[in-house]
Amino acid sequence: MLRTKDDLRVQIQAYKVPALYVCSSIPLLTFSAFPGAMKVIALAAAWVAACAQLAHAEIVIDRMWSTTYDYSKVQELSNPQIKFVDGQALAASVNVTAAASVKSQQYDAIGIQVQENQLAQLVDTFGGGVTDSVAITLQDFKSKHPKDYDDLLHLLFSQDAEWHAKGGVGLNTAPKLWQTLHDIVAIHPGLKIISAPWSAPGWMKDGADETQPLFGGSLKVGMEEVYANYLVKAVSEIKAQEKLDIYALTLLNEPQIPELQYPTMKLSAAQAIQVGKLVRTALNKQGFEKVKLLTWDHNWDNTDYALQVLNADPTQWDGTAWHGYAGKPSSQKIVHDAYPDKETYFTEYTVISQYFSEPYKNMKNTARNLLIGSIRYYSRSVVLWNLVLRKDEDGFTTPHLPNVCQNCNAAVLLLPDSTDALAAADPSHTKTVAEAAGAAKKDKRRRRSLWRRADDTKPDTTTEELKPQTGSPAVAGGGEKAEAIQAKDVVDAKKTGTNSVYETALFKRSSDYSVLSHLSAAVRPTGASKEYSKRIGVSSTDEITELGGRLLAQAFRQDGVKPGVSRFSLILLNQNDHYETDVWENATAVIGFRGQIANVTTLPGLYTLSWEAPTVDTSAAAKAPLPAKADAPAADAKAAS
């Protein structure tokens, strides 16, 4: 609101004036001539606003979330007030000698160029796997600590700023599971549920484990229609009985998985083509046109399967889902480029929990591959595995089937005090690898119970029931090297430097939580906007090799945060560590935006910066095809002019 001449001056001075002498002087003169006239004030304000569109507004980085490599800052929110100023964008990284660095506080500088005109996919889906392991853990926690359970679900899923301020992450996706899902949906009715079966019932399979037909084998040739009906019935029964909408469905979790000691099945691409068509047709017929159908749902190391399926008939599919245990995120681009109108989702990744003691390493790898890599190659989502597990005294996570994923990470780790009923309630709870191996042989009771489930043809949670977690090659076998990590050593990714942040001795947030927090901070709706952010182009002068170099970036844009104003977010991964020698070097990002630069110096870690700027119409540019990897710096340097 402009009330006085001084206010007006201040307002005008707030804009850079190159073009704008004329622009700024006229309303001032007008104002002087008719002091106090409201009409003129309105006119002057409108003029200033119009001029602001023409001139460069001053652009200031006003939010920064910091997670340093040593977790001295875990998810600290600050307002660094770093202004974009005139200056040359870097065309190449600039190295500074160690001596010069100490002497003059200058650090290696890396050019990060933000290309707002390269508008790409919406990134609106992030969360964690809600398996039976997660649900068992959480329901046990609920019975023992109902208030803390409620708080934990609010931290994870509440969309309210109040919970964000307490360190909440505002997740909006979660694969499956009933009572827990009801509790989550009560907090966040817009939750997106992505459903993925792990196996058909044993009687639909060939070559499954003899004593445990949910383990291994393939969908019998000739069973395609039966399996398709089974999947569609699951969607309709979940709606009828649980009142839950499935957002997206994959035909099968990891259809090319090798034989493992938990529910798995193989489904050939030829079968997926048949089943997909039957499922799509039946879903549409039963009023589930909106349920998205995604193919593949397996690792980056195979693009042929998804291409074969889409080539057969792309109209049956909404897109492709990916896991990150093998291959490279750039595989997503191959399928995207063949079918640019189809969507890309990243649906599963976890690491083994040795990284409890190395949270930076875990955060760095996950952020690099997913926040930078997978999203660069068109993913709308980042879903980590699992959402919540119990962390035992011996450093393993539980519950799990014998010898499967004994020490997989989770975004939230319930500490021993939180769920002591669990060990007694869950026969698969094993404390050591040796015990787990013994249990695999001995646990007849469990085998029988699995067998019973396999015979049960009711299309509900049957095939999901005992899913412990992925046994992907990168994860399997890691368990034997797990180190005993004390609960106190598990880093809690909750501190933000304020006392208002939710604290408890019952659970801790892991580095996976940090990764999800940064994505949430970058893309969740803010201000007046109701929309998540879209990815925009960005490049780093240091990325000479794919995802290499000292600083990597991912950039986003959200329009409508105020009338005519967009908010830009930049996730910055500073991986300028010398991990083995324990040397941690600062690096300076020279961020180029609209022909100006802002220098931001950070220690190794993960950072999300954001700033507002007047919205520039990029509709013409948006129609042009977007390269997955940003072009050379300064491509849109004068976009705002």
Ligand X SMILES: *[C@@H]1O[C@H](CO)[C@@H](O)[C@H](O)[C@H]1NC(C)=O
Binding status of residue 112 toward ligand X by CB under 6 A: no
Q: Is 354 in the site for ligand X (CB under 6 A)?
A: no
**Shortest Å distance, C-beta 83 to ligand X:** 9
Q: Is the peptide bond before 386 cis (omega within 30 degrees of 0)?
A: yes
Pick 28 or 547: Cβ nearer ligand X? 547
261 part of the interface to ligand X, by CB under 6 A: no
Smallest distance from the beta carbon of 611 to ligand X, in angstroms?
A: 15
Distance of CA 242 to the CA centre of its chain: 27
Strand partners of residue 249: 195, 293
**Run of H or E including 134:** helix 132-144
In terms of CB distance, is 184 or 606 closer to ligand X?
A: 606
Nearer to ligand X, 68 or 199 (CB): 68
CA 433, 436, 440, 441 torsion-angle sign: positive
Query: At closest approach, how far in Å is the CB of 495 from ligand X?
Result: 19
Smallest distance from the beta carbon of 610 to ligand X, in angstroms?
18
Q: How far is CA 414 from the centre of its chain?
A: 21
Which x/- pattern, by CB under 6 A, does the window 603-622 give for ligand X? x-------------------
- Tokens of residue 120, six digits: 């790409």
d(CA 377, CA 131): 27
Instruction: Tell me the closest approach of the beta carbon of residue 97 to ligand X, in angstroms.
Output: 10
152 DSSP 8-state letter: H
| Residue 414: closest CA among 74, 136, 68, 131 | 136
Count of residues of this chain found to bind ligand X when the rule CB under 6 A is applied:
12
CB of 601 to ligand X, least distance (A): 4
Rounded to an integer, what distance in angstroms lies between the CA atom of residue 57 and that of residue 561?
A: 16
- Applying CB under 6 A, does 590 fall inside the site for ligand X? yes
Stretch that binds ligand X, among 372-380, 585-593, 622-630, 632-640 (CB under 6 A): 585-593
Q: Does 87 bind ligand X (CB under 6 A)?
A: yes
Minimum distance from residue 492 beta carbon to ligand X (Å): 24
Q: Do residues 45 and 81 touch, judged by C-beta distance below 8 A? A: no
Of 62, 478, 601, 628, the one binding ligand X by CB under 6 A: 601
- By the rule CB under 6 A, 588 interacts with ligand X: yes
Helix (H, G, I), strand (E, B) or coil at 442: helix
CB-CB contact of 264 with 297 (8 Å):
no
Task: Measure the CA–CA gap between 533 and 520, rounded to whole angstroms.
Answer: 10
Q: Residue 126: beta bridge partners?
A: 382
Q: Which of 85, 161, 425, 528 binds ligand X (CB under 6 A)?
A: 85
Q: How far is CA 58 from CA 14, 556, 611, 612, in A?
A: 7, 19, 10, 9
Q: Binding of ligand X at residue 330 (CB under 6 A)?
A: no
State in angstroms the smallest separation of the CB of 544 from ligand X: 8
Binder to ligand X among 121, 559, 599, 629 (CB under 6 A)? 599
* Phi, psi (deg, nearest 5) at residue 75: -155, 60
Query: Which of 40, 54, 94, 634 is in the footprint of ligand X by CB under 6 A?
Result: 94
Binding positions for ligand X, rule: CB under 6 A: 85, 87, 93-95, 109, 586, 588, 590, 599, 601, 603
